Amino acid sequence: MSSHASSVTRATRFSLRSGIILALAACCLATLVFAATPSSSTLNPVNGSSATWAGNGIAGATTDETTCVDGTDCDVYTITLAGSPTNYKGLVLAISISHQVKLNDYDLYVHKGGLTGPVIASSTGGIPETGEAVVIDPTVSGTGVYTVHVVDSTVAPGDPYSGVATIVTPPSDSPAHGTAPTYANYQSPTGLGDNSGEPSIGANFNSGRIMTQAVFDTLQVTFNTNTSPATATWLLKDGPNTSITTLDPILFTDSHTGRTIVSQLFGTTSLSAFTDNDGETYSVSQGGGIASGVDHQTVGGGPFRLCTADQLLVTPVPCAQLAVRGPLTQYPNAVYYASQDIGDAEMALSQDGGLTYEEAHPMYTLVDCGGLHGHIKVSSSGIVYVPNKRCGSTQGLIVSMDNGLTFTVQPVTGSTPNSSDPSIGIGSKGRVYFGYVAGDGHPHITVSDDQGRSWHNDLDVGAPFSIRNTVFPEVVAGDNDRASFFFLGTPSAGDGTGADTGTPFNGVWHGYIATTYNGGKTWFTVDATPNDPVQLGVICTQGTTCPSGTRNLLDFNDLTVDKAGRVFAAYTDGCITAACIARGNNTTASHTRLDNDQATKATIIRQSTGLSLFKGQDATPLRP
Amino acid sequence: MQRTVIPALLLLSVAPLAIAKQPAPRILGLHLGMPYAQAQSRLKEIGQFKSEDEGQQVWTLSHDQRYQYAIVGFDRSRQLRYITVLARPEGKPISYSDLGDLASATRSGGPGNLRYTWKAHDDIGGFEYVVIAKGKNNRYLDRYAVKRLDVEGEMEDRDH
């Protein structure tokens, strides 16, 4: 017994000693092989102060910064800027990385402070680029510690990167260069989409078709690209239970799986069905996951948030918890249903492709944000986002990193609340573009590279057209650096979104699309309905308190992108007769609601030319 | 054997006489159907106005040991349609069973996301209402709400 105990003790000691040695060896190996070399530097406020480092041999593949494991498929380099911010007047910190093989793709993120600090700059270009670069103004973001995080997007072994950080004089700002996209409008044929307030739109990457829904009609739209300009065929493809009654209509297409979910708010839940063949056949679903959900439902979906193999090794317990909320059937992606409830807003996950939903989880209460919210979007790494037009003194973004189990409310710093629901687009590597109407009515878009914890490049994209009133912001993104922002706007000042109880608002509304190809630094803004106004007079955004004749367009439009990166917008056209259009184009005529058609006609804007939202398609220019 | 059977039979015979406790259609002196002005008066007694969104008001409760916020919504005739109260994080905990008989509630969700739902009828007001208590804890609630089932919100977004 004693001998046995002694041998166990010896074995344990040996095991412990071996473990410690192995762990130390692994640590040393990790430091030697995987960490940036050197790991840090200090730069001074002098033009030309510089440091270099090498990222030795890391390799791997990640979805975005949140899915990498330091020392395995990402590494860290720390820069300390000496002095005070004022010492850097007329100077900037330029950071770049480069590698050799065009088939590899590294991404560069710079955090202020440690890795949990805000991402103040990032460069996430893709293949075939062999470098990434950012410029930081220390007079704005301060001195002290910056953490450079280099992430393997797709990197095969044997192509280490090298990094350079230099204090230089700032490069001159350049406006958006290149050619702006152009667009064409396709109105639904008579008898289809005649009553189409608040449309949703989705693109099925498998079939190439567009699906759209507004009020009672679910429409399948096929564009014949054998002719140019392309022609559209519209077919009615109503769900079995979504053309009976309509309170709030919603359609969501998971572009990658090709599944379209249609939903009509009904009592405490929604009537809903899904189709995998663009409306040829449907399966009726549970409808939603909120027993008492009262209003303004939204359906969205995308990949589940699951751990990579590397993350599983490092953090097995959280990974197992995530996996529990993973797919339960062969349908690979998550579907989410969210709605305002009694004093709060909730979200329910479907693990079977929208057939059934779990008991909903609270996202926030009215103490945090307004009850009504924008539409759900899911990143490629499975992060769930819901935008909100009012969270305290700013707009907000509700974020779930665990498949809709828990939520945090991130203020969109720099924004101001408004009455239109904001919208987000998510780039392929996780960049969030938040499009919103500011408190002054101008259309703004701002960017986050850290899941909404910090925001940058907030721009008024309506400035080229002097837009003063805006409604229905809608955003879609493609590659990380590319996004489009659709909104209705008018240069007319005054209360263009109110109840119009005094002197009628005088204004002509058009549909505008702003597009960025450089991560939100600059935008092309285009009038996508240049000769055909969308509405004359007011567009009331005060819900059911709006007087008759002011809310024909209801509450939102929608925007999507097809497999080629071509942008499609769905909107309701309130001005469709020749007389109304002519009046809208006559700059000296009256343009009040009394001059408007009050129509609700389903219309789609289709990108005709210009670069798409997927760089990989640049070699094949879009044809009208 | 006989000694255990008789008390059991007695208990069974008495059980139907006991009335399951239903949660009341009121919280903190606010009751469903209460006119707007009266509700405002009561809310001012118990708290401070914090914010309003789409006709729904958030009030910070001043002195309540259990609840930190009250959220209220009104119907189109400006009567109180729903009341939600949020538990004070460090306050006196409230059991689900404090509200009503759990046996008469529908339990849904699971650990970390539990809710009890009662549907009841207010004989005085003559309306149906629902009571929903939610919480992460299996015993204590985070919030609960009472809501009339037969009316729509003052600004509820019924589009058509």
Judge whether B10 lies within some domain: no
Calculate the average pLDDT of chain A. Answer: 91
Give the whole-angstrom CA distance, residue A616 versus residue A202: 21
CATH code, domain carrying A152: 2.60.120.1050
pLDDT in tens, A350-380: 999 999 999 899 999 999 999 889 999 999 9
Tell me which of B147, B152, B160 to substitute to probe the interface with A (most A C-beta atoms closer than 10 Å). Answer: B160
Is A134:A141 a contact under the CB 8 Å cutoff? no
- pTM for the model stands at 0.91
Residues A158 and A205 in one domain: no
For chain B, how many structural domains are there in total? 1
Which residues in chain A have their CB less than 8 angstroms from residue B109's CB? 359
Judge whether B53 lies within some domain: yes
Give the whole-angstrom CA distance, residue A290 versus residue A298: 12
Judge whether A516 lies within some domain: yes
Give the whole-angstrom CA distance, residue A304 versus residue A560: 21
pLDDT in tens, A116-158: 999 999 999 988 999 999 999 999 999 999 999 999 999 999 9
How far is C-alpha A66 from the chain's CA centre?
16
CA-based torsion, A294, A296, A299, A305: positive or negative:
negative
Average pLDDT over residues A396-418: 97
Task: Give the bridge partners for B52, in sequence order.
Answer: B57
Residues A206 and A73 in one domain: no
| Residue corresponding to tokens 């590319």 | A482
pLDDT at position A166 is 98
| B21: pLDDT strictly greater than 50 | yes
Judge whether A346 lies within some domain: yes
Q: Name the residue facing A544 among B108, B130, B157 (closest C-beta).
A: B157
Three-state SS for A436?
strand
Residues A188 and A162 in one domain: no
Judge whether A8 lies within some domain: no
Find, among A418, A424, A606, the residue nearest to A529 by Cα.
Answer: A606
- Complex-level ipTM: 0.82
Residues A398 and A312 in one domain: yes
Judge whether A17 lies within some domain: no
Share of chain A above pLDDT 70, in %: 91
CB of A248 within 8 Å of any CB in chain B?
Answer: yes
CATH code, domain carrying A489: 2.130.10.10
Give the whole-angstrom CA distance, residue A496 versus residue A507: 7
Considering all CA atoms of chain B, what is the largest pairwise distance in Å, rounded to the nearest integer? Answer: 67
Residues A505 and A410 in one domain: yes
- Which residue did the predictor score with more confidence, A535 or B12? A535
| Residue corresponding to tokens 């300009």 | A229
> Please, which pLDDT band fits residue A15 given cuts at 50, 70 and 90?
very low
Task: Give the bridge partners for A487, in sequence order.
Answer: A512
Is A45:A91 a contact under the CB 8 Å cutoff? yes
β-pair type (A182-187, B143-148): unpaired
Residues A293 and A155 in one domain: no
Residues A443 and A550 in one domain: yes
Cα torsion through B140, B143, B148, B151, rounded to 10: -150
pLDDT at position A263 is 86
Judge whether A28 lies within some domain: no
Residues A374 and A399 in one domain: yes
Average pLDDT over residues A177-191: 93
Residue contact B54–A247, C-beta within 8 A = no
Residues A162 and A233 in one domain: no
pLDDT at position A178 is 77
Q: Which amino acid is it at A620?
A: T
Judge whether B47 lies within some domain: yes
Residues A321 and A352 in one domain: yes
For chain A, how many structural domains are there in total? 2
Chain B neighbours among A 313-352 (CB < 8 Å)? 342-344
pLDDT in tens, A83-116: 999 999 999 999 999 999 999 999 999 999 999 9
pLDDT in tens, A541-564: 988 788 888 999 999 999 999 999
Q: Burial, A260: exposed, middle or buried (Cβ in 10 Å; 0-12, 13-18, 19+)?
A: buried
Instruction: Compute the nearest-CA separation of B20 from chain A (Å).
Output: 23
CB pairs under 8 A between A and B: 91
Judge whether A610 lies within some domain: yes
Q: Domain range holding B32?
A: 21-148
Residues A87 and A161 in one domain: yes
Judge whether A537 lies within some domain: yes
CB of A367 within 8 Å of any CB in chain B?
Answer: yes
Find, among A147, A155, A158, A111, the residue nearest to A36 by Cα.
Answer: A147
Q: Could you tell me which residues come within 8 angstroms of residue A425 by beta carbon, excluding any fewer than 6 positions away?
A: A377, A432, A433, A435, A475, A476, A477, A483, A484, A485, A559
Please say which residue of A168, A202, A219 terminates a domain: A168
| A164: pLDDT strictly greater than 90 | yes
Judge whether B89 lies within some domain: yes
- Which residue did the predictor score with more confidence, A368 or B16? A368
Q: Domain range holding A593?
A: 182-615
Which residues in chain B have their CB less than 8 angstroms from residue A542's CB? 155
Give the whole-angstrom CA distance, residue A253 versus residue A265: 17
Find, among A532, A536, A570, the residue nearest to A552 by Cα.
Answer: A536
Residues A289 and A324 in one domain: yes
